[in-house]
Amino acid sequence: MEVRVIVLVVTMAIAAACCATGGVAATTTTSRLKGLRVHLTHVDAHGNYSKEQLLQRAARRSRHRMSRLVARTTGVAMSSSSKAASGGVGGADLQVPVHAGNGEFLMDVSIGTPALAYSAIVDTGSDLVWTQCKPCKDCFKQSTPVFDPASSSTYATVPCSSAFCSDLPTSKCTSASKCGYTYTYGDSSSTQGVLATETFTLAKSKLPGVVFGCGDTNEGDGFSQGAGLVGLGRGPLSLVAQLGLEKFSYCLTSLDDTSKSPLLLGSLADISESAAAASSVQTTPLIKNPSQPSFYYVSLKALTVGSTRIALPASSFSVQDDGTGGVIVDSGTSITYLEVQGYRALKKAFAAQMALPAADGSGVGLDLCFQAPAKGVDQVEVPKLVFHFDGGADLDLPAENYMVLDAGSGALCLTVMGSRGLSIIGNFQQQNFQFVYDVGHDTLSFAPVQCSKL
C-alpha cells in the first residue's frame, strides 16, 4: 500500500473568488552574519519508509505536537488519541512504531572548538537552543557522542546575573553561581542543565557566543531524532533573536520529496524573485501574544471551500485575554488543526461539495476521507481551499497541499483536523511555498515556490 500526493482538478465558483477580495542580540555574532543558507532534512528522510508510512508517522507526531502546544497555551493536556464526536478532534490511534514528535525537520550544526557535528531539531514554536551534555544524569540515546564541555576551549557558563538567565521561564542560581535552567514543552518533554555560551558553526560560518542550554537531564521521546533542539521562536533566547536577525525564511519540500529544504537566515531570506512572481507574494501581520511570546501568531479571518466562504468567529480564532485561542504558523506540525467551530464548518462544506461517498481514514490517522473511484483519482474534482488572513493575504492551496490518497484503502483524505484552544497552520499546507518571517517588521509573507529548485 502507498499514499500518493495527488494533483486533482480543483473547482471553485466565481462567487467565491469575488468574495476573497525581540530580544538582546549577540553583537559579536551579528556583526559577522550577513546571510546564511542552511539545509533542513525531514526526520523520516533516511528511514526507507513507504509513502503510507510517512503519512502515518507524520500524522501521529502531529497529534502529539498539537496536544503539547495546546497544553502550553491552555494549561490543559488534550488527549492525542481521543476523537470528539463534535468535530473529529484527535483521531484514531495508529499502530505505527514512531517516536512522539517535537519537530519535523533537522539541521546540521557543529558545536565547540574543535567543532563537533550534531543534528538538531528545528522548532519555530520554542526559543531555547540546547544539546545534551556530559556528564549526563538522564539522557536519551543519540547517534553522535554527547557534547563534552571540558573538550571545548570556547565553552563558558552563563552567570546568574546575566539577562539571558532572567529570560528563561524557569531558572535558578547554582552553588557555583551558574545559571541553572529547566525548559518544558507542555507535556513530559523537558531539558534541564546550565545555560552556557559556545561557538556554533552553521554552513561553515562560525557564530561565537551563542547562548545555549547544556542539558544533563533530558526527557521526551520526540527528541531522539537529533542531539538537541534549535529554537527559532520569537523570544530573546531563540537563535533568531541572538543573531539579531531581521528575518528568516524556509521553503519546505513535499513529504515524499528526498530533496532537502532550504532555511535562509538574514539577508538571504527574501522571497526568490526568480521563483515567484511579485504578484503572488502575500503578506499578513504577525501578532504577539504576551502569554506565549515564542509563537508566530497570525489573524485567520475566513476560509473558502469551493463555493462557500466561511467566516471564523473571533471568540475562537483570535488571541484571548487569558492567552488562549489564536492561530499559529508552525513548521513542526504536519497537519493543520482548526478550532472545532471552524473545523466543523469546513468539514460540512467539504462533504457537501465532494461527489464521493465517505470513507474511513483511520488507517492514515485522518478524519475526513472519501472513497476514491476505482478508475483512479486523476480527474476527481475537489473543492478549492483558501485561507484568508488579515491584510488581504490569501493562502490559495494547490490540491496536493490538502488532499492525500491512501492507495491501499482508496481513501482520499483532507489533511486538516479539529482542535480546542489553539489553531495551527501545519507544514502539509506550507509545502512548496516560501515563508518569510520578518520579525523586524512583524509580518509574515509567502509565495508559491518550487522549494527543491530554490
Q: What is the CATH number of the domain that holds 17?
A: 2.40.70.10
Choosing from 44, 123, 167, 406, which is the catalytic residue? 123
What are the phi and psi torsion angles at 452 (to 5°)? -70, -15
CB atoms within 10 A of CB 289: 19
User: pTM for this structure?
Assistant: 0.88
Give residue 96's pLDDT. Answer: 27
Give residue 317's pLDDT. Answer: 96
Integer Cα distance of 163 and 167 in angstroms: 6
CB atoms within 10 A of CB 310: 17
Average pLDDT over residues 351-370: 92
Question: 6 pLDDT exceeds 50?
Answer: no
Question: 9 pLDDT exceeds 80?
Answer: no
Domain range enclosing 54: 3-453
- C-alpha distances (whole Å) from 413 to each of 178, 367, 404, 417 are 51, 8, 5, 11
Segment among 91-105, 129-143, 148-162 with least mean pLDDT: 91-105
Give residue 201's pLDDT. Answer: 96
H or E element, residue 359: strand 358-359
Question: 264 pLDDT exceeds 80?
Answer: yes
Return the sign of the alpha-carbon dihedral for residues 58, 192, 39, 252. Answer: positive
Q: pLDDT, tens digit, for every residue of 94-117?
A: 222 333 346 789 999 999 999 999
Give residue 325's pLDDT. Answer: 95
Choosing from 187, 330, 396, 438, which is the catalytic residue? 330
DSSP state of 134: S
Do residues 246 and 265 lie in contact, with contact meaning Cβ atoms separated by under 8 Å?
no
- The residue among 444, 330, 450, 360 whose CA lies nearest residue 398 is 450
Q: What's the mean pLDDT when you consider all of the chain?
A: 85
Give residue 77's pLDDT. Answer: 57
Question: 410 pLDDT exceeds 70?
Answer: yes
Give residue 19's pLDDT. Answer: 36
Bridge partner residues of 335 (DSSP): none
Q: pLDDT, tens digit, for every residue of 311-321?
A: 999 998 999 99
What is the percent of the chain where pLDDT is above 90?
62
pLDDT band at 300 (very low <50, low <70, confident <90, very high): very high
- Tally the domains of the chain: 1
The alpha helices in 75-170, defined as continuous H runs, are: 163-167
Bridge partner residues of 440 (DSSP): none
Question: 273 pLDDT exceeds 80?
Answer: no
Q: Is residue 438 among the annotated active site residues?
A: no
Q: Is residue 321 among the annotated active site residues?
A: no
Segment among 8-22, 102-116, 151-165, 184-198 with least mean pLDDT: 8-22
Give residue 21's pLDDT. Answer: 34
